[in-house]
Amino acid sequence: DQQVKQNSPSLSVQEGRISILNCDYTNSMFDYFLWYKKYPAEGPTFLISISSIKDKNEDGRFTVFLNKSAKHLSLHIVPSQPGDSAVYFCAAPNSGGSNYKLTFGKGTLLTVNP
Amino acid sequence: DAGVIQSPRHEVTEMGQEVTLRCKLISGHNSLFWYRQTMMRGLELLIYFNNNVPIDDSGMPEDRFSAKMPNASFSTLKIQPSEPRDSAVYFCASSRQSNQPQHFGDGTRLSIL
C-alpha cells in the first residue's frame, strides 16, 4: 500500500517555464511533508518542506503547495533551469513517536531542456 | 562541512560472500538511517539508530542483514551471506535530531552476481 504516490514518473519542460511536480498521500495523519532532489550517482538532498498548518511555503524559485482536503501537494519551480534536471521525491514522516520514519514516493524525473 | 560519507561507492561480488558497507555521519548528528533503493520498491528504511542505539530495525529484510554503530560517527551494514536479490543502492543518512531533515550520502551501488 503506497501511502505517498507520485503518479508521473517523468516530466519534461522548457527552460524558463514552470515545472509542477505532484504528490498524493493517503494517510490523513501525515502533518509534515518534504521534497528531496536527487542527481544521478548522488544521494537525495533536502529541498523544501511544509507543515500541515500552512498551505504554501516558498524558498526562492521553489514553492510547495499543500491541499489537505485533497491530500495533495505540489512543488512549483519557476523559472525552471537545466540544472534543475533531477529526480524529485516527495516524502512524509510518520506522526507521533515514529516521526523519524519517512515514507517516500517513487520519484519524478524532471528534465529541463535548454 | 563534510557530508555523510559512504564507502565503497560500488561493490560487485559473488553470491555467498560477506559484504560490508560503511558510513560516516555528519559531526553533531545523533540520528543514523540506512536505506535501500530498488526500482520495484523505491527508497525503504532498513534501520534507524539514535545516539548509537538501534531503535527501529523493522525494515531489515532478514537475519542475513545486520547493522552496528560502534561509535557516534560511524556505522556499518553487513550482509552475510549475500544473495543476488540484495542488489540495490544502499544509502546512509544522518540528521541532527530524528525529526529534522535527513542528509544522505551518495550511496553504495551493490551488485551480487
Over residues B86-104, the pLDDT tens digits come to: 999 999 999 998 888 999 9
The CA distance from A101 to A103, in Å, is 7
DSSP annotation of B25: P
Spans of chain B below 70 pLDDT = 1
Distance of CA B1 to the CA centre of its chain: 21
Element (H, E) at B56: strand B53-56
Nearest CA among A40, A14, A20, A31 for reference residue A71: A31
Among B43, B48, B100, B108, the strongest candidate for a mutation testing the A interface, having the largest count of A CBs within 10 A, is B43
Contacts of A21 (CB under 8 A, 6+ apart): A6, A8, A11, A35, A74, A75, A77, A88, A90, A108, A110
Q: Are A69 and A18 in contact (CB under 8 A)?
A: no
Q: Which of A41, A43, A100 sits opposite B99 (nearest CB)?
A: A100
pLDDT of A20 higher than 90? yes
Closest-CA residue of B relative to A106 is B42
Instruction: Identify the three-state secondary structure at position A107.
Output: coil
Q: B4 contacts in A (CB within 8 Å)? A: 43
Distance from CA of A11 to the nearest CA of B (A): 18
pLDDT of A42 higher than 90? yes
Contacts of B96 (CB under 8 A, 6+ apart): B28, B29, B30, B31
Among A5, A100, A106, the strongest candidate for a mutation testing the B interface, having the largest count of B CBs within 10 A, is A100
For chain A, list residues whose CB is within 8 angstroms of any CB belonging to chain B. 34, 36, 41-46, 49, 89, 93, 98-102, 104-107
Closest-CA residue of B relative to A107 is B42
Instruction: Identify the three-state secondary structure at position A76.
Output: strand
**Which value, to the nearest 10 degrees, does the dihedral of the CA atoms of residues A25, A26, A32, A34 take?**
-30
> A1 falls in which pLDDT band (50, 70, 90)?
low
| pLDDT mean over A79-94 | 96
Cβ-Cβ contacts under 8 Å between A and B: the total is 45
| pLDDT mean over A3-19 | 96
Task: Mark yes or no for CB contact B50/A100 under 8 Å.
Answer: yes
When the pLDDT of each residue in chain A is averaged and rounded to a whole number, the result is 94
Q: Are B88 and B37 in contact (CB under 8 A)?
A: yes
